[in-house]
Structure 1
Amino acid sequence: MKIRASCVSRRFRPRHLAVLCASLGLVAGPAFAQQQTVKLESSLRVSETVTDNAGLGQSGTGKTDWITQISPSVRLIANGSRVNGNLSVGVNSAFYANDSAPQSNHLMLGGSGKVNLVDNYAYVDVFGSISRQSASAFGPRGADTVTGTSNQAEVRTFSVSPYLRGRLGSTGSVELRYALMQTESDSSVLSKTQSDTWTLNASDSRASALLGWGLNIRDSRSDVTDRGTVSQRSGRLTGFVNLDPQFTLRLIGGAESNNFGGSNKRSTTIYGVGADWRPTPRTTVSGTVEDRFFGTGYMLNATHQTGRAAFTGSFTKNVSSTSQTMLGAVSLYDLLMLQYSVKYPDINERSAVVRQLIDTNAAGQGGVIVGAQSVLANGFFLDRRFQLGVTFSGVRNTVSLIAFTSEHETLTERLAVTGNAAAGQNATTTGGTLMVSHALSPLTSANAAYSSILSQSTDRSLAASRSNIITAGLSTRFSSKMSGSLNIRSNKGSGSSSYSENALIGAVAIQF
C-alpha cells in the first residue's frame, strides 16, 4: 500500500476548539472545580472497505480499491453544578491502496455544553461541529466519508450564546440572549457565513388563571463572504388564553423587516394563531400559523414517548439556512435520546448509553440522516419541510424509521445563492432511512439498513437524482472495551448521476 502526504483540514481554527474546551470546564479554574466531574474516554476504530467503485463513477468507469481507515478519537464529558456538556474530537485517516483518491486526514468534531456563570441568572451555551456532507443533492451520494469524495465537503459550524435569565413575578420569566454563529466549508459551494443575533423574550403565560402574555424581539445580521449582508428584525406580542391546564391558545401580532430582496428593506405585519396541547407528561403537540412577508408560515411539532418507543414529527414552512437545516434535522441519536429521557434523566448519562447502543447495533448510522437533509447553499431560502422519526426497542429487536421531504425556494435574489440553486432552481428532496437490529445473543446482533433519497429540480435541464443504499451485517462485542462489525453494502444511483457500488466493510473499535 502506498502512503502519500495527507490532505489535512486547512481552515480549522484552534480557537474554536479552545472555546469549546473552556466552556465545557476542561480548563476551568478552582471556582468551577467544585462539584464538577470531567470524564475522558478515548477510542480507536480501524476499518477496511473493499469496494468495486470507490469514486462512484459512471457505469464502466468504477475503480476497485481497498480503503483503510484509522480513526482515533477522544470524548470529554463534563457534569456538575457549573458545567454540563460533551465534546468529541477525532481524526479520520483514509488510505487508498489503488490510489482511487488522495490519502486524507479529516478532523471530526461534535460538542455542545452549558456553563452556569451565575446561579439562576447568567449562562453560556456553546456548540461545535465539523462533519462531511454531500455538496450537491444531484451528485453521487457516498454511503460513507471515503467513497464518492468528489461530491463531499467539510462543513464547520460553531456557535457561542451567552444569555441572562430572570423572573417576572411568581410565574413569569425574561431572557436576553446574544448568539454568534459561524458556518464555513472547504468548498466553494458554501461560503463563510457569520450571524449575530440578539433576542429578548419576556412572558407570563399564566399571569392570571385564564390569560397571559408574551413578548419576543429579535435582531439578526448575517454576513456572507462575497455575498453581502442580510438583516432581519421582528417583534411579536402574544396573548395566551389558558382554556385548560393541558391546552393553551395563542394569539399573535407583530411586525418584521428584512432585505432578502436586495438592498431595499421590506417591512410587513405579522399576525397569527397558535395552540399548545400536553395531554400527558410524555406527549406534546404545538402548532403555529402566521401571515408573514413570504405568505403563510406554519410550524407543527409533536413528540410522544413510552418506555420502549419514541415518536417525533414536524411540519414547517419558514426561512432557513444551511446551518439551521443541519441543526434541525432528525437523527437516530435524537430519537434514542427522547426515548430514554425518563429512564436516564441525566443528559450526559443518557448520551453515553445512547452512543453505546448506536455503536453496538447501528455503527455509523447515528447521524446518517443529517447529511441527507442538509442542502449546502449560501444565504437564506424558504424551506417547506416535513420530517418524521419513530423508534421502537423490544427485548431483542430495535426498529427505527427516519423520513423527510423538503422543498427549497431561493430567497436572496437567486444571485446570492450557490450550489443546488445557483441558477435559481427550486429543489425538492425526499428521503428516508429504515434501520433494523436483532439481538442474536447478549453480545452479538444482526443489523440491516435501507436509505433512499430522491432529489428533483424545476429546472428541466437537470435530471432528477435517486440514491438507494442497502447495508446488512453483524456486530459483536469481544470484551467490555472491544467490539467489531462486518457489513456488506450496495449503493446505486440513477438519474443525473448513475452509478453502482458494492462493498464489504470490516471494522474493529477499541476503548481505552
Structure 2
Amino acid sequence: MPRLALVAASIVLAAAPGAASAQSVRVSPTLDTELTWTDNVNAERNGRDDMILEVSPGISVSRTGGRLTGGLTASFRNLMYAQETDQNTSFLSLNGSGTYEAIEDMLFIDAAAGISRSNLSAFSGRGPGDPLGVSEDNETRTWSISPRVESDLRFGEAGRGSVRYSSRGFSSKEGGLGDQSVSQWDVSLSDPGGFRFLGWGVAYSRTDTDGDTSTSRSSTEEVIRGTLFANISPQFRMRGIVGYETNDYSSGNETNSDIVGGGIDWYPTDRTAISATVEDRFFGRGYDVSFNHRMSRSVWFLSASRDTSSIGRDLGLVAVFDPRCLDFLQGAGRPLDSLSEDERELLLDECINSSLLQTNAVYVNRSVRGGFSLLGVRNTLNFAVTRSDRSNLSELSGLVPGDPFLTSDRVRTTSATVSWNHRLTGTSALVASLTRSRAEALEDEDLDTRRLSGTIGLTRTLGPYTQGSLRYRYEKAEGTTDYTENSVTATLGMRF
C-alpha cells in the first residue's frame, strides 16, 4: 500500500547516511514507561477506577547535515489494564518528516508520515489529545510527499519561481471516514520589486480531493491569481489582487467566481510583522490576517482567517492531535533539549489548541487564534485562545452517524489554555496547564460539549539519558459527553 511504503521510505530517508558526515546523524533507541491510576477508565458518567501500565520501546532518528535533514520517532506502545483487560492494546505510533535536496538550491522533496490514536470527535468520548484515548477505532494514519522546484530567476530585482506538487492523505476507522487523499499543484512566478516601486506576481493552484466512501466523493478546486505590488517603503508594501476560481463542491455542480481583493505587508520594526489579505470569493468575504511581535521577554501573536477546508487538508499533519506531538513539531530532527523554553511552550500550545472536525464535508472555516508568552529567568507563562466556526459547504446526503453536519450546518469550537513552567533547579521543573473548551452545533442543541481539563506535574532529569515525571490530571466534560475523571501518572523515559 502506498501509505505504508511512504512510512518505510520516511524511516530510510531519516536514517540514511547520504553524503553528509556521520556526526550529523543521531540514532537513539528509547524506552518509555508509564503507570497511570484513573478513577474513570471508560470516561463514563459513573465510571470505575483502574490501573494502566504502558511500556513503549522505540527509536528516535534525526539528521541535521548535508542535503538530507529530518527526524523520525517511532515507538511500539503497549497498554495493559489491571481490570479492563479486554482493553489491552498494542500499536505502532510514528511521527516523521524530512527534506531531501535533490538538486542544489533547486529541487527539494519533502515527506512526512504518522500513525496515531486519538479521538477525532469534538462532541463525544475523551477530549483531543487525551493520553488514554487509544481505542483501535481511533487509529489514524497520515502521509504526505511533496516535490518542489524553487529558483531565483535572472530577471528584475528579485525574480522567483516555484512549482510544487503535494500528495497527502489519511485513513481512519473512526466514524467510517475511510481513506481520503488530497493532490495539489501550486505554480507561482513573481518579482515583487520588478520595477522598484511596482512589482508583480501570478499564482495557480489546483486541488483534487478523493474519498473511498459515498459520503466523501471527489471534488476539484482551481484558483488563479494575479498580484500587483506597490512598494511604498522597505517596511511597507501594498498588494492588489485579481483572479478567477472554479470548484464543484456544491452537489457536483460547477461554481465559477471572480476574485477581487487586496492586502498589506508591514514590518514596522525588526521584531514586528503584520500581514493582511482580504478578498471577495465564491463563498463571500475571505481573509487572512496575522500579527507577530517579539520583545526581549515576551512573544505576542494574533491571526484570523476565513477560507475553505476539509479534514483531508486539516489532517495533513498527524502531530496536531497526537499527545506526543512535541517530538514531531520540533522539526528537522532538532532534539527537544535544543529548543529554547519559549519555543517548547509555543509548540505545546499548538498541540493543545489545534482542533479537528470529524466530517467528510467541505466547509468554510472562520478561525481566530491569539495569545502571548511571558519569558522569565525561571518562569514561563503562556496563554492562547482559539475559535473555529465552520459552515457546511457541501450538499452531501447520507453523512456518516456522528457527523455534526448531519443535523447542523454550523459547528463552532472554542478553547482557551493557560500554561506555566517554573524551573526549580537545573534538572527539575514544575509544570501546570488549564484548558477550557466548548464544541457546539449551532442548529442542534443536543450537540454541545463543554470541557475543563487541568494538569500539574513535576519533571526531573535523573541522569544524562533518563527523565522521570509525576503528573496529576483532572478532566470534566458536560453535555453530549458527561463525565469526570481524576488520574495520576508516573513516567520514566530512557534514551540510549
TM-score by length of 2: 0.90
Contact 2:180 2:312 in 1 (8 A): no
Q: Distance in 1 between matches of 2:410 and 2:51?
A: 38
Please tell me the residue identity of whatever aligns with 1:263: G
Instruction: Report the counterpart of residue 487 of structure 1 in structure 2.
Output: 471
Q: Distance in 2 between matches of 1:412 and 1:101?
A: 39
RMSD value, Cα: 3.1
Unpaired runs of 5+ residues, structure 2, are none
Contact 2:326 2:351 in 1 (8 A): no
Instruction: Report the counterpart of residue 430 of structure 1 in structure 2.
Output: 414
Q: Distance in 2 between matches of 1:203 and 1:424?
A: 42
Q: Does 1:278 align with 2:267?
A: yes
Q: Distance in 2 between matches of 1:123 and 1:270?
A: 31
Task: State the 1:100 CA deviation.
Answer: 6.4
Which among 480, 483, 487 is matched to residue 503 of structure 1?
487
Task: State the 1:72 CA deviation.
Answer: 2.2
Q: Does 1:289 align with 2:283?
A: no
Deviations 1:238-291 (A, max 9, x none): 000001101110000010000000222111100100111112233211110000
Once the two structures are superposed, the pairs formed by residues 165-176 of structure 1 within 5 Å of their partners are 165-168=150-153, 169=155, 170-176=157-163
Once the two structures are overlaid, the 10-residue window that deviates more, 233-242 or 185-194, is 185-194
Q: Does 1:312 align with 2:297?
A: no
Q: Distance in 2 between matches of 1:115 and 1:327?
A: 19
Please tell me the residue identity of whatever aligns with 2:75: G
- SS of corresponding position for 1:228: coil
Task: State the 1:41 CA deviation.
Answer: 2.1
Once the two structures are overlaid, the 10-residue window that deviates more, 148-157 or 313-322, is 148-157
Instruction: Report the counterpart of residue 249 of structure 2 in structure 1.
Output: 260
- SS of corresponding position for 2:252: coil
Which among 386, 389, 401 is matched to residue 383 of structure 2?
401
Instruction: Report the counterpart of residue 64 of structure 2 in structure 1.
Output: 79
Once the two structures are overlaid, the 10-residue window that deviates more, 473-482 or 307-316, is 307-316
Deviations 1:110-163 (A, max 9, x none): 222211111122111112222233231111324755535569722222111111
Deviations 1:422-441 (A, max 9, x none): 33442111012211111222
Task: State the 1:465 CA deviation.
Answer: 0.6
Q: Distance in 2 between matches of 1:100 and 1:451?
A: 31
Structure 1 residues 407 and 292: alpha-carbon distance in aligned structure 2, compared to 1, 3 A threshold: same
Instruction: Report the counterpart of residue 106 of structure 1 in structure 2.
Output: 91
Q: Distance in 1 between matches of 2:221 and 2:250?
A: 12
Once the two structures are superposed, the pairs formed by residues 330-341 of structure 1 within 5 Å of their partners are none
Deviations 1:184-204 (A, max 9, x none): 212234221111111111100
Once the two structures are overlaid, the 10-residue window that deviates more, 38-47 or 146-155, is 146-155
Counting aligned pairs with the same residue, the percent is 27
Instruction: Report the counterpart of residue 225 of structure 1 in structure 2.
Output: 212
Please tell me the residue identity of whatever aligns with 2:264: A
Deviations 1:170-229 (A, max 9, x none): 511011111111122122342211111111111000002200000001112111112321
Once the two structures are overlaid, the 10-residue window that deviates more, 347-356 or 310-319, is 347-356
- SS of corresponding position for 2:139: strand
Contact 1:140 1:499 in 2 (8 A): no
Instruction: Report the counterpart of residue 201 of structure 1 in structure 2.
Output: 188
Deviations 1:471-508 (A, max 9, x none): 11211111121111112221111111111111111111
Contact 2:95 2:328 in 1 (8 A): no
Q: Distance in 1 between matches of 2:327 and 2:384?
A: 12
Deviations 1:403-431 (A, max 9, x none): 20111111121437542223344211101
Q: Distance in 1 between matches of 2:263 and 2:219?
A: 28
Contact 2:476 2:482 in 1 (8 A): yes
Once the two structures are superposed, the pairs formed by residues 17-416 of structure 1 within 5 Å of their partners are 17-24=7-14, 26-27=15-16, 29=18, 32-33=19-20, 37-58=24-45, 60=46, 62-99=47-84, 102-142=87-127, 145-149=130-134, 153-168=138-153, 169=155, 170-226=157-213, 227-326=216-315, 348-349=333-334, 352-354=337-339, 368-369=351-352, 373-415=355-397
Please tell me the residue identity of whatever aligns with 1:173: R
Q: Does 1:469 align with 2:453?
A: yes
Contact 1:251 1:273 in 2 (8 A): yes
Contact 1:191 1:225 in 2 (8 A): yes
Task: State the 1:53 CA deviation.
Answer: 0.3
Please tell me the residue identity of whatever aligns with 1:467: R
Structure 1 residues 491 and 333: alpha-carbon distance in aligned structure 2, compared to 1, 3 A threshold: closer
Q: Does 1:453 align with 2:437?
A: yes
Task: State the 1:13 CA deviation.
Answer: 4.8
Q: Distance in 1 between matches of 2:36 and 2:179?
A: 33
Count residues in correspondence.
Answer: 488
Once the two structures are overlaid, the 10-residue window that deviates more, 346-355 or 114-123, is 346-355
Structure 1 residues 228 and 95: alpha-carbon distance in aligned structure 2, compared to 1, 3 A threshold: same
Q: Does 1:444 align with 2:431?
A: no
Q: Distance in 2 between matches of 1:152 and 1:317?
A: 31
Task: State the 1:234 CA deviation.
Answer: 0.8
Q: Distance in 1 between matches of 2:307 and 2:283?
A: 9
Please tell me the residue identity of whatever aligns with 2:376: G
Q: Distance in 1 between matches of 2:151 and 2:348?
A: 40
Once the two structures are overlaid, the 10-residue window that deviates more, 83-92 or 201-210, is 83-92
Deviations 1:47-98 (A, max 9, x none): 111011011101x3x0210011112232211122311111111222111111
Q: Distance in 2 between matches of 1:289 and 1:275?
A: 10
Please tell me the residue identity of whatever aligns with 1:174: G
Contact 1:330 1:388 in 2 (8 A): no
Please tell me the residue identity of whatever aligns with 1:392: L
Q: Distance in 2 between matches of 1:223 and 1:242?
A: 41
Contact 1:437 1:447 in 2 (8 A): yes
Once the two structures are overlaid, the 10-residue window that deviates more, 314-323 or 97-106, is 97-106
Please tell me the residue identity of whatever aligns with 2:8: A
Deviations 1:19-45 (A, max 9, x none): 213443x3365xx34688211122211
Contact 1:337 1:350 in 2 (8 A): no
Task: State the 1:303 CA deviation.
Answer: 2.0
Structure 1 residues 211 and 36: alpha-carbon distance in aligned structure 2, compared to 1, 3 A threshold: farther
Q: Distance in 2 between matches of 1:12 and 1:444?
A: 44
